[in-house]
Amino acid sequence: MRTIKGPGIFLAQFIAPVAPYDRIETLAPWAAAKGYKGVQVPTFNPAVFDLEQAASSRTWCDEYKGLLAEHGLVISELSTHRQGHCVAVHPAYNLTIDAFTPEAVTRNPEAREAWAIDQLMKAAQASANLGLDRHVTFPGSLLWPYLYLYPPRPFGLIEEGFTELAKRWRPILDRFDELGIDVAYEIHPGEDLHDGLTFEMFLEKLDGHQRVTILYDPSHLHLQGMDYVGFLDVYGERIRAFHVKDAEYRMNARTGYWGGYQNWPTRAGRFRSPGDGQIDFGAIFSKLSELDYDGWASVEWECCIKHPDQGATEAAELIRRHIIQVQERAFDANMQAQGIDHARNRAALGLK
């Protein structure tokens, strides 16, 4: 067993056009002051991380790591959640997805896809330049509008969607493989990989590709009514990253899981600041420790009530409390006779 690394923090939700949230030079000391040791770094904002520079210059990467090290921080992973989602987008979202892309590729699905793939390729090289061994992202979705079984879906539609999704991702995954880096997909509603079964369908289409792994976020599983702790037993070998994110489902008579088109405060299921929801983090940290998880516990903060600064402060302490320093020897080791003595064991069984 290994001790989970942390506390870590995913910077994406904290980025804002005001100090200290507007650039890495001020975000780094802010995160360090909260007690964080690692940062999961988004790559969509050059003021926080310049992906073009990182992919082309090891010197730039060394300087970036040096800036973080001045504050006692390291990078846990780079993130391409926005770009990864743009690898595969159903036409229903062609207009709304423009918020994730540069103006040069808006309203142009082919250009958007090419841009997204290029971003992932650069993220692979940047991760290698930084000495990282895993990367976090979204897979995108061609099938989300067909999630429900009404109107009935054409036969073969789901299989065709996963075939195409795998086709687009295979060259990206192969490039990450060449560089020795795992790709951890966040299992998330709105993505074609939104539960265990869809992850399995994707993995099968990719012939069990060794770089296809999971960013585990219990909040998304809880809000689907899934056994988020049992999920670890089923997919533990593929889990390479962990978001400490909380959620609550408040059953009521007016709406349910689908949310009634409501915004976050009035949905039955909503995200909460870590510690304020229903997620059993004690069970999760115990299970991950048992499974020899060797990565970071990184808070992903999303809450429709609490201020992010308070949430970040409290989440760092929550992670510290839950990280288990795993034992180096069994607690009852000094109660047992050491070594295998066949004669003694047979005598203990009453055998000659």
Contact indicator for 203, 174 with CB cutoff of 8 Å: no
pLDDT of residue 87: 98
pLDDT of residue 332: 56
Query: Which whole number is the average pLDDT over 229-237?
Result: 98
Check whether 85 has a pLDDT greater than 60: yes
The domain spans of the chain are 5-348
Q: Could you tell me the pLDDT band of residue 328, with boundaries at 50, 70 and 90?
A: confident
Q: Could you tell me the pLDDT band of residue 155, with boundaries at 50, 70 and 90?
A: very high
Q: Could you tell me the pLDDT band of residue 220, with boundaries at 50, 70 and 90?
A: very high
Query: Which whole number is the average pLDDT over 308-317?
Result: 98
pLDDT of residue 344: 87
Pairing of the two strands 212-216 and 296-299: unpaired
Per the listing, tokens 């760092």 go with: 316
Check whether 337 has a pLDDT greater than 70: no
pLDDT of residue 334: 61
Pairing of the two strands 246-249 and 269-272: antiparallel
pLDDT of residue 144: 97
Check whether 8 has a pLDDT greater than 90: yes
Query: Which whole number is the average pLDDT over 51-64?
Result: 98
**For all residues of the chain together, what is the average pLDDT?**
96
pLDDT of residue 333: 57
User: What fold, for 5-348?
Assistant: TIM Barrel (3.20.20)
The 3-class SS string of the chain reads: CCCCEEEEEECHHHCCCCCCCCCHHHHHHHHHHCCCCEEEEECCCCCCCCHHHHHHCHHHHHHHHHHHHCCCCEEEEEEEHHHHHCCCECHHHCCHHHHHCCHHHCCCHHHHHHHHHHHHHHHHHHHHHCCCCEEEECCCECCHHHCCCCCCCCCCHHHHHHHHHHHHHHHHHHHHHHCCCEEEEECCCCCCCCCHHHHHHHHHHCCCCCCEEEEECHHHHHCCCCCCCHHHHHHHHHEEEEEECEEEECCCCCCCCCHHHCCHHHCCEEEECCCCCCCCHHHHHHHHHHCCCCCEEEECCCCCCCCHHHHHHHHHHHHHHHCCCCCCCCCCHHHCCCCCCHHHHHHHCCCC
pLDDT of residue 335: 61
pLDDT of residue 111: 98
Query: Which whole number is the average pLDDT over 144-170?
Result: 97
- Look up the pTM and report it: 0.94
- The token pair at 249 is 């489902």
Cis peptide before 7 (omega within 30 of 0): yes
Q: Could you tell me the pLDDT band of residue 348, with boundaries at 50, 70 and 90?
A: confident
- The token pair at 95 is 């207009």
Q: Please, what is the angle between helix 196-205 and helix 157-178, to 10°? A: 70
Q: Could you tell me the pLDDT band of residue 153, with boundaries at 50, 70 and 90?
A: very high
